[in-house]
Amino acid sequence: QVQVQESGGGSVQAGGSLRLSCTASGLTYSNYCMGWFSQPPGKDRKRVALIDSDGRTDIADSVKGRFTISQDNAKNVLYLQMDSLKPEDTAMYYCAADPRPNRIWGGFPKYWGQGTQVTVSS
């Protein structure tokens, strides 16, 4: 059974940094496409960053140059380094996984974590 768990959220001031972590049991990271999604209050969930099984990454334009996605396959941990945070980055952040890239690209990955809250104050 696959279980996904995020950690590392919190409250920071604008310009600050946070690093989110995602651990997943029951899967091998190198065989999965992994990603981070965000859902601001009252808005739809959107893709933030993806990394495929070959290590290729995709970052949303809204966070490009500020957020970095990476993973440690040996430890089965996915990271989202968030720098130069803005108030508009405030959202619940979810980790997701799917062995099929088209599903995670489409916003319908099979496995989701419970989410971790990020709040950025001005």
**Cβ contacts of 59-63, under 8 Å, gap ≥ 24:** 63/89
pLDDT of 23 higher than 90: yes
- pLDDT for res 5: 96
pLDDT of 106 higher than 80: yes
pLDDT tens digits, 34-88: 999 999 999 999 999 999 988 899 999 999 999 999 998 888 899 999 999 999 9
Residues whose CB is less than 8 angstroms from the CB of residue 70 and which lie 6 or more positions away in sequence, other chains included: 51, 57, 78, 79, 81
Half-sphere exposure of 32 (CA within 13 A, CB side): 26
Question: What average pLDDT does this structure show over 21-44?
Answer: 92
CA distance 74 to 33: 16
CA distance 116 to 9: 5
- pLDDT for res 40: 96
Least confident of 22-31, 46-55, 109-118: 22-31
**Per-residue DSSP letter, 10:** E
